[in-house]
């Protein structure tokens, strides 16, 4: 019997008892469906996280902040911490240690660091257009995000010019019909200082941004020079030692893959710490992968239960076809061929279950992703809940076929060991 004949015969034999085979296949379908759905969910959410990461600059950037000060922690009930006058002015609003201009110079002097830009948090009371109307500004972006902007028109702000970009949702407010109409307008930014006095800064709109899933481009984004002007205005009245402090800075590292640990170790020696975006999101990815594996465990349990169904189905088939097995052996069929025939029947059951289960999982995942991302979760830009990973689907199918084959080895071995004379006498 040729290999093709074995496959055809196995398929025919599998369909002899349709009800019994169908019940066994259903158990496999449940496992395949669960594995496909959870694998797609894990792939989709990780894809969304990667999209967010891509929106925060490039892989050469490292976020630097001062090392945590153990004396600046939240109250523990053990009494107050002694005041250290040398640290006065070196902490932020919530007790975190701040970076100073000296720290920025230190970072700039580290080996493999090619550029450093301190991140200054600024706020604007309102933006006044050329028509005199004033609009609230909910948030201000960071100049470091300029290379990541996706623009509908214009360009990113030049670092040394008083320029900014505005989101495309601002077009109507600025009296522009198209994105190109808004480019070139001069606007006035109003900023309040620490004593409540209001200052104004004029700037030119040079680009219209489209929001990214990371949030970049969803607010006005000033140039480095404009951001410094805003910061200087809002810090007016502060003591000099509090004006040039920063929560964190962004360092550009040459060949990050090769020098990441060198730069991090050098920062630690200077009481600072560095984190890449992958570091900051690593825990989130770990949680996603852990949940995915836990859910995959339920699918594997279903497949384990299905494997016993395959064993039971084929053992019954061997018992019912004892005389048939004896006849095949009497006609010259070897033990190996008999073993292969019954193993192939197990594989056919696994193949049917995996194809149906994976197909149903894909349909459910894609439909659910569309309904949720275009419905209740439509406000989350670029959200992906389910993503098709062909390699994962291939592994799921191969796993099911492997389990089915292993489950079929016991009945196949029993069939192969049948004595042809005794088998032919079986009633």
pLDDT tens-digit map of 382-405: 678 888 889 989 999 999 999 888
CA distances from 158 to 58, 165, 204, 209, 226 (A): 19, 11, 11, 15, 10
H or E segment and range at residue 275:
strand 272-275
The alpha carbons of the chain give a radius of gyration, in whole angstroms, of 33
Render pLDDT for 149-185 as a digit per residue (tens, 0 to 9).
889 999 999 989 999 999 999 999 998 889 999 999 9
pLDDT reported for residue 360: 94
- What is the phi/psi pair of residue 267, to 5°? -65, -40
Strand 198-209 and strand 61-66: pairing? unpaired
In the structure, what pLDDT confidence band is assigned to residue 4 with cuts at 50, 70 and 90? Answer: low
Local confidence band at 127 (pLDDT 50, 70, 90 cut-offs): very high
The segment(s) of the chain belonging to CATH 2.40.40 are: 122-238
CA pair distance 233, 96, nearest whole angstrom = 23
> Would you say residue 16 has pLDDT above 80?
no
Q: What is the pLDDT of residue 5?
A: 60
**How much is the average pLDDT of 360-376?**
89
Instruction: Could you please state the CATH topology (level 3) that the domain comprising 122-238 is classified under.
Output: Barwin-like endoglucanases (2.40.40)
pLDDT at 188 over 90: yes
Looking at residue 323, its pLDDT comes to: 76
Q: Could you tell me the CA-to-CA distances from 377 to 100, 186, 381, 407 in Å, in that order?
A: 41, 36, 9, 43
Q: pLDDT tier at 88 (50, 70, 90 boundaries)? A: very low
pLDDT in tens, 189-213: 999 988 888 999 999 999 999 887 7
- Gap between the terminal Cα atoms of the chain: 26
The pLDDT score that the predictor gives to residue 94 is 44
Bridging pattern class, strands 151-154 and 134-136 = unpaired
| Amino acid 221: pLDDT | 92
**Is the Cβ–Cβ distance between 192 and 198 less than 8 Å?**
yes
Higher pLDDT, 186 or 60: 186
pLDDT of residue 89: 44
Calculate what percentage of the chain has a pLDDT beyond 70: 84
CA dist 426 and 99 (Å) reads 88
Mean pLDDT of 11-35: 82
60-119+247-275 folds as Alpha-Beta Plaits (3.30.70)
Residue 214: what pLDDT?
66
Residue 11 tokens read as 């398929």
- The segment(s) of the chain belonging to CATH 3.30.70 are 60-119+247-275
Q: Which pLDDT score is estimated for 297?
A: 84
What pTM, to 2 d.p., does this model score?
0.60
**Residue 112 scores a pLDDT above 60:** yes
């Amino acid at each position: 019997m040729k290999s093709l004949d074995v496959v055809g015969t196995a398929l025919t034999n599998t369909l002899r008892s349709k009800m019994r085979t169908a019940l066994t296949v259903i158990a496999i379908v449940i496992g395949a469906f669960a594995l496909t759905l959870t694998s797609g969910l894990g792939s989709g959410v990780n894809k969304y996280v990667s999209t967010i990461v891509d929106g925060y600059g490039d892989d050469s950037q490292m976020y630097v902040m001062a090392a945590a000060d153990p004396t600046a922690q939240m109250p523990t009930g053990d009494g107050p911490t002694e005041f250290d006058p040398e640290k006065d002015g070196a902490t932020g609003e919530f007790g975190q240690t701040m970076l100073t201009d000296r720290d920025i110079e230190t970072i700039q002097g580290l080996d493999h660091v090619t550029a450093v830009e301190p991140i200054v948090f600024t706020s604007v009371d309102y933006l006044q257009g050329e028509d005199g109307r004033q609009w609230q500004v909910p948030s201000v972006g960071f100049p470091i995000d300029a290379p990541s902007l996706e623009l509908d028109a214009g360009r990113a702000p030049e670092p040394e010019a008083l320029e900014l970009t505005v989101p495309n949702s601002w077009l109507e407010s600025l009296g522009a019909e198209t994105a190109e109409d808004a480019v070139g307008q001069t606007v006035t930014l109003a900023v309040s200082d620490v004593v409540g006095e209001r200052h104004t800064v004029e700037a030119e709109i040079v680009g219209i941004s489209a929001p990214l899933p990371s949030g970049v481009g969803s607010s006005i984004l000033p140039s480095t020079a404009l951001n410094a002007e805003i910061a200087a205005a809002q810090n007016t009245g502060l003591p000099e030692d509090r004006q040039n402090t920063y929560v964190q800075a962004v360092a550009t590292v040459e060949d990050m893959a090769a020098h990441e640990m060198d730069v991090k170790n050098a920062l630690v020696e200077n009481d600072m710490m560095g984190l890449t975006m992958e570091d900051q999101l690593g825990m989130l990815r770990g949680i996603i992968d852990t949940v995915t594996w836990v859910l995959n465990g339920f699918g594997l349990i279903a497949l384990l239960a299905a494997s016993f169904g395959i064993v039971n189905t084929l053992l019954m088939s061997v018992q019912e076809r004892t005389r048939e097995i004896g006849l095949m052996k009497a006609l010259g069929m070897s033990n190996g061929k008999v073993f292969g025939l019954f193993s192939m029947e197990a594989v056919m059951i696994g193949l049917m279950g995996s194809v149906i289960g994976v197909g149903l999982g894909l349909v459910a995942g894609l439909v659910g992703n569309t309904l949720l991302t275009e419905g209740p979760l439509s406000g989350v830009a670029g959200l992906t809940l389910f993503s098709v990973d062909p390699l994962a689907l291939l592994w799921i199918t191969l796993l099911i076929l492997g389990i089915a084959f292993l489950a079929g080895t016991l009945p196949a071995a029993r069939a192969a060991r049948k004595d042809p004379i005794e088998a032919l006498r079986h009633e």
